[in-house]
A = this chain, B = another copy of it.
Amino acid sequence: MSTTHSHASSRFELSGVRFEVDYRLPGPESVARERAGHLVVEQTIEYPLDLVKQEWIRDGIVGRIERLSGAGDSFLATISYSTEVVGGDLTQFLNVVFGNASILPHVRVEDIRVPSSLLAAFPGPRFGHRGLRNLLRVPERPLLCTALKPMGLGPRELGTMAYQFARGGIDVIKDDHGLANQAFCPFHDRVARAAEAVHKANEETGKNCLYAPMVAGPHEDVWERIRFAKAMGAGAVVVAPGLNGFDLIRRIAADTSLSLPVLCHPSLLGGMVQSEGHGFSHGVLFGLLPRLAGADCSIFPSYGGRFSFSQEQCQDIAFRCKQPLGHFRTILPGPAGGMSVERVPELIDFYGRDMMLLVGGDLHRTGPDLTRNALAFLGTVL
């Protein structure tokens, strides 16, 4: 707790370092320019510009239109903000980027460029793509992930399932994202059993399969759940920022003593990409933001499954996981959502080998021997 009662002066010295957001706005140009002019105020001072007496607030705190490009009915307004308005806080960063803009129609965040000095305020992915590979001792092939399900099974049954998958060479075994703390499958019991089962399998296989429990839950319990998972030997965690906020990912990534990889799950976030002209681009919401928060892998619904993201949108997500971002590690795209073993070659073609491929229900389809089914999955990437 910081209780510094500093006497912030009425003329604050800004560093001049700014971050940039590209907003897609509808045309014509005059309208796009006018709306960009509203955005620079709405996202910062929310106050009549003509009433601002302090020049440094007008020039430094209010956003700045850097560029307006485009034609016809679609324009890209690049707006910059002082890094100081963020105060080193990820929730405030999101607030500035899209807080009130989210309740305006037809504003879409297409890109965000964050300077190193602001990146330095966040821990970044602790493991990233390379760190995860090192942990798993899998240097080159695609990583394999599956989920414990269906909801309704108890801790003992899910533990057995985890053991079978770990024996079959799955790299990361995660809770299905609907496993919470239900009476039929209490969190602590499930996590203890699944972690123990995976540990036992690892001793037998000599591998280092990771069990990743879903750690959503009540605000006052979620950190205890994460520490419990660690104490039981879970090797990673799944966080859904739509449920608990992006900042929970940052907190986990920042914790040195915890040192757990984070898989980001898209639950509830989808509403922010489903309108073509509003919200976030797929790449920003499911690639850049999880990485900025510190996730090591971003799970998202791949094209060709039960969901409807296009190839282009999925490509954008994968690109954002890997594009240069200051000193931040690259992370793994985690295509999911109805993937099948049969499609592995095609998915490798599309995403490359640096991904974590999540196959869930399909691993149960080819017979009751889950270890054998997992081995068949593994066989497709060897």
Of the listed stretches A97-105, A124-132, A162-170, chain B binds A97-105
CA distance A278 to B273 in the complex (A): 10
Is the beta-carbon distance between A48 and B364 smaller than 8 angstroms? yes
A185-220 CB contact bits vs B (8 Å, 1 = yes)?
110110010000000000000000000000011111
Which residues from chain B contact A256 at a C-beta distance below 8 Å? none
Closest Cβ of chain B: how far from A119's Cβ, in Å? 16
Q: Does A184 contact B (CB under 8 A)?
A: yes
Closest to A104 in B: B307
Closest Cβ of chain B: how far from A341's Cβ, in Å? 14
Q: Does A376 contact B (CB under 8 A)?
A: no
Contacts of A277-309 to chain B: CB distance below 8 A = 278-280, 300-301, 306-309
Of the listed stretches A52-60, A66-74, A323-331, A343-351, chain B binds A52-60
CA distance A60 to B151 in the complex (A): 11
Closest to A5 in B: B189
Interface size class of A (residues with CB under 8 A): 35 or more
Q: Does A312 contact B (CB under 8 A)?
A: no
Which residues from chain B contact A275 at a C-beta distance below 8 Å? 271, 274-275, 278
Of the listed stretches A21-29, A37-45, A136-144, chain B binds A37-45
Instruction: Pick 28 A–B contacts, CB within 8 A, sort by A.
Output: A1-B228, A3-B188, A6-B183, A12-B183, A12-B184, A42-B306, A44-B178, A48-B361, A54-B152, A61-B150, A84-B183, A87-B180, A87-B182, A89-B180, A92-B182, A94-B243, A95-B177, A95-B216, A95-B240, A101-B270, A102-B266, A103-B266, A103-B301, A105-B274, A219-B223, A219-B247, A219-B248, A271-B279
Chain A residues with a Cβ under 8 A of chain B? 1-10, 12, 38, 42-48, 51-52, 54, 56-57, 60-61, 84-92, 94-96, 98-105, 147, 149-157, 176-178, 180-186, 188-189, 192, 216-221, 223-224, 228, 240, 242-245, 247-248, 250-251, 266-275, 278-280, 300-301, 306-309, 337, 360-361, 364-365
